[in-house]
Amino acid sequence: MNKKEVFYKLLKDNEFVFWDGAMGTMLQAKGMEMGGIPEMLNFDKPDWIEEIHYAYVNAGSQIVCANTFGCNRYKMAKTGKSVAEIISAAVGIAKKACGDKALVALDMGPIGQLLEPTGSLTFEEAYDIFKEQVVAAVQAGADIIACETMTDLYELKAAVLAAKENSDLPIITTMTFEQTNRTFTGCSVSAMALTMEGLGVDAIGVNCSLGPKELEPVVAEFSKWTTLPLAVKPNAGLPDPITNKYDLTPEDFADSMANLVKYGVKVAGGCCGTNPDFIRAVVNRLKDMKYSQQKPKLEAAVCSPAKTVIIDQPRIIGERINPTGKKRFKEALKSEDIGYILGQAIEQINAGADILDVNVGLPDIDEKEMMVKVVKALQSVTDLPLQLDSTRPDVLEAALMVYNGKPIVNSVNGEKASMEAILPLVKKYGAAVVGLALDEGGIPKTAEGRFEIAEKILANAEKVGIPKRDVFIDCLTLTASAEQAAVMETVKALHRVKTELGLKTVLGVSNISFGLPNRELVNCNFLQMALTNGLDLPIINPNAALMTGAVRAYKLLANIDENSTEFIAAYSGSNFTASVSSTGAAAAPKSDSNDLPSAIANGLKDEGARITEELLKTKDGMEIVDDLLIPALDKAGAEFESGKIFLPQLIMAASVAQAAFEVLKRHMAQSGGESVSKGKVVLATVKGDIHDIGKNIVKVLLENYGFEVIDLGKDVPPENVLEAAVKHGVKLVGLSALMTTTLGSMEETVKLLHDNNVPCKIVVGGAVLTPEYAEKIGADFYAKDAKETVDIAKKIYS
């Protein structure tokens, strides 16, 4: 019997399985100092550890966590012991204490540093840290892997992937939830359940956080989202800050635990403040109760940590993050202008998208690397779930790996090779998948043919273990102008897939009108036909107000949008104008003035863009930049320096110029005209520093003076700055550091650039920096603010 079978037998043979209680607070009671490293006691006081394990086994615990909660290379760095040594010792002690009475779990807690994007630890590093623990646990002979006290779904995903790819041990995952049903980082119960069940863990639930009484809403929520065994390990109530004592008695604790049984609790234990008396009380209290298995009807759903989108009604997939047919987007991909791509995302979110499709396929770039970068950037600013879109399985796998939550894969099709390559990835990472109704024979002409391919894709998906609810079928839109007769075949196929196979359907809509005049009218009507016939996931441009409006109107008329709440919220008052003006060219002019300098002085962003469009009819781009934009910005800069206006106003002026530049760039990309770039500048917040608002302000100002900024982001290693400076041949590198602790890496970066004789000047800035320090570390310039950085850049590129 392998370890998974042993674990499942344990679950099957017992109404409940009892876990152990706290280790840390038990050790404190024995005399460990506050803030001490519990894992070192595996060496210093092995008898303490063994006594605690033994007491839990005697109290009735059937799973015991080895004393390894913080045993990762980051937290153990200063102990002088390797992770493998500590885990081997800890598992050894636990096995000795448990004998054949209880299973031993590798206890894996959070690493102790926040992951990207808020922290500086990358997902890949986190995976590697957990992998080391898993490998050591397998060698030491652990029976289970327990990932506990997690608050970040991303970190938990790294831990689970590390556990699955490096062992065949059963995995229990529990996160720390507040009464709001969310963790500190905003991860919801539903997102955890969807993601973890998808990744194939063996039990899920909640630990730590609060007492068993306060956790009732959390446990109740779990019962709606999963069919997995539920594990619950609450604290002994809440601690007093002065005495550090918890407020529940073992009997109170056990009573509240008994109350949670009705939600399907299978594995029961305790966390901070509990001791063997608590476990004994729970064992006694539950001994005459029955496990109450929950059988929720699980809907199709996808999620990010903070947002779960249930596909129980039409949901809009935004199609704009895709270079096909978009010169400006291609340009952005080539110059790695992530800011532009994020702008596309934000526009779609504000326009009403529910899910964003992400496609960055372009022949001249490394699609895989770009996909990872864009997925990470998108999930750092939006809660919308993503649809990962590529024709290449390796790109999809890389994206699935770093996606935080449960995404959609776009797409698989009915070809044998496609199903063999894509479906196992979808299963492994627990995603939903779009199945295109085409195969080796191409796109069938008839609805019947497409329906059959849908059936085939479903059968193959189920064969690898993908639940039926996670298969969405795209019956494929053909262009009406070329294949008019095919339109109704698509609609019919969609209807049959929806009603006969019971699958969710997805459809790219805009293609229908290719080559026809008044495309939006055609798109809109086709969308209505598809929705009426059962379309769940229209892939559209949400910025097209009529299209998004058509979906909203359908939901209203189909009695999905109860009391027309969503519809009224979208279209009452000023919101309507907002959604219309976001289509850009269709916006009604707010004034007749073509006074760009005045728009800049007054911070009127939309006006700035509109006027620039107008001006381009009579002037060329460079003329607008040199005669209007730059002088207006110079005026704002001078006013800022003299204290007449303040930084926020200077930035507002700059933002108008940014909007104008965006219009100019788009125009240049289309006309292939000369670039408006005044020169390239590399900007970075140095290694170790994660505060990058200052650097971003500098970036906006530089860009609005026409400089092209290669923004390396925050926490940037010196080597990356060197590489970028050389690759782009820049004349100026700007470095920012906010804290005293990170000035050292600024110095290192400057030194590395000098040592490699890079022919560029270096400007540095940041809160704690002084001109003297800048000089000391060998920087060429110190800039006290963003404006001064622009002055320096102008001087260098003059």
Q: Can you give the binding site for other proteins, defined by CB under 8 A?
A: 33-36, 110, 112-114, 117-120, 149, 151, 176, 178, 182-186, 208, 241-242, 244, 272, 306, 339, 342-343, 345-346, 380-383, 602-603, 605, 646-649, 651-652, 654-655, 687-691, 693, 696-697, 700, 715, 739-742, 745, 767-768, 770, 784
Q: How far apart are CB 723 and other proteins at their closest, in Å? A: 21
Q: How far apart are CB 510 and other proteins at their closest, in Å? A: 25
Burial class (CB in 10 A: 0-12, 13-18, 19+), 490: buried
Question: What radius of gyration, in Å, describes the C-alpha atoms of the chain?
Answer: 30
Q: How far apart are CB 788 and other proteins at their closest, in Å? A: 13
- Looking at beta carbons only, is 16 or 19 nearer to other proteins? 19
- Looking at beta carbons only, is 345 or 447 nearer to other proteins? 345
Q: How far apart are CB 6 and other proteins at their closest, in Å? A: 31
**Dihedral (Cα; 726, 730, 736, 740), 10-degree rounding:** 50
Q: How far apart are CB 189 and other proteins at their closest, in Å? A: 16
Structure letter (DSSP) for residue 626: I
Beta-bridged to residue 684, according to DSSP, are: 735
- Looking at beta carbons only, is 227 or 655 nearer to other proteins? 655
Q: Which residues of 91-124 are buried (b: 16+ CB within 10 A; e: fewer)?
A: bbbbbebbeeebbbbbbbbbbeebbbbeebbebe
- CA separation, residue 572 to residues 409, 446, 577 (Å): 35, 43, 9
Say how far residue 752 (Cα) sits from the centre of its chain.
33
Which residue's entry shows tokens 């029955």? 290
Residue type, 776: K
- Looking at beta carbons only, is 101 or 784 nearer to other proteins? 784
Q: How far apart are CB 113 and other proteins at their closest, in Å? A: 5
Whole-number Å distance between alpha carbons of 591 and 556: 35
Say how far residue 797 (Cα) sits from the centre of its chain.
39
- Looking at beta carbons only, is 38 or 407 nearer to other proteins? 38
Q: How far apart are CB 443 and other proteins at their closest, in Å? A: 38
- Looking at beta carbons only, is 671 or 770 nearer to other proteins? 770
Q: How far apart are CB 112 and other proteins at their closest, in Å? A: 6
Q: How far apart are CB 302 and other proteins at their closest, in Å? A: 19
Angle 764-766-771 (CA atoms, 0-180°, nearest 5)?
55
CB count, 10 Å around CB of 700? 18
- Looking at beta carbons only, is 516 or 739 nearer to other proteins? 739
Q: How far apart are CB 606 and other proteins at their closest, in Å? A: 12
- Looking at beta carbons only, is 393 or 713 nearer to other proteins? 713
Helix (H/G/I), strand (E/B), else coil: 148: strand
Q: How far apart are CB 176 and other proteins at their closest, in Å? A: 7
- Looking at beta carbons only, is 191 or 272 nearer to other proteins? 272
Q: How far apart are CB 484 and other proteins at their closest, in Å? A: 42
- Looking at beta carbons only, is 594 or 655 nearer to other proteins? 655
In DSSP notation, 187-243 reads -BHHHHHHHHHHHT-SEEEEEESS-TTTTHHHHHHHHHH--SPEEEEE-SS-B-TTT
Beta-bridged to residue 412, according to DSSP, are: 435
Contact between 109 and 70 (Cβ < 8 Å): yes
Helix (H/G/I), strand (E/B), else coil: 542: coil
Contact between 473 and 435 (Cβ < 8 Å): yes
What end-to-end distance do the CA atoms of the chain give, in Å? 75
Contact between 489 and 450 (Cβ < 8 Å): yes
Return phi, psi of residue 410, to 5°: -120, 95
- Looking at beta carbons only, is 466 or 700 nearer to other proteins? 700
Q: Angle 447-463/416-429 helices, nearest 10 degrees?
A: 50
Contact between 730 and 681 (Cβ < 8 Å): yes
Whole-number Å distance between alpha carbons of 110 and 366: 33
Q: How far apart are CB 621 and other proteins at their closest, in Å? A: 23
- Looking at beta carbons only, is 110 or 621 nearer to other proteins? 110
- Looking at beta carbons only, is 195 or 207 nearer to other proteins? 207
Burial class (CB in 10 A: 0-12, 13-18, 19+), 796: middle
Q: How far apart are CB 693 and other proteins at their closest, in Å? A: 5
- Looking at beta carbons only, is 560 or 768 nearer to other proteins? 768
Residue type, 546: L
What kind and span of H or E run contains 546?
helix 545-557
- Looking at beta carbons only, is 10 or 698 nearer to other proteins? 698
CB count, 10 Å around CB of 584? 14
Nearest to 50 by CA among 3, 6, 104, 10: 104
Contact between 351 and 367 (Cβ < 8 Å): no
Q: How far apart are CB 277 and other proteins at their closest, in Å? A: 22
Q: How far apart are CB 305 and other proteins at their closest, in Å? A: 10
- Looking at beta carbons only, is 289 or 690 nearer to other proteins? 690
> What six digits make up the tokens of 107?
């206890």
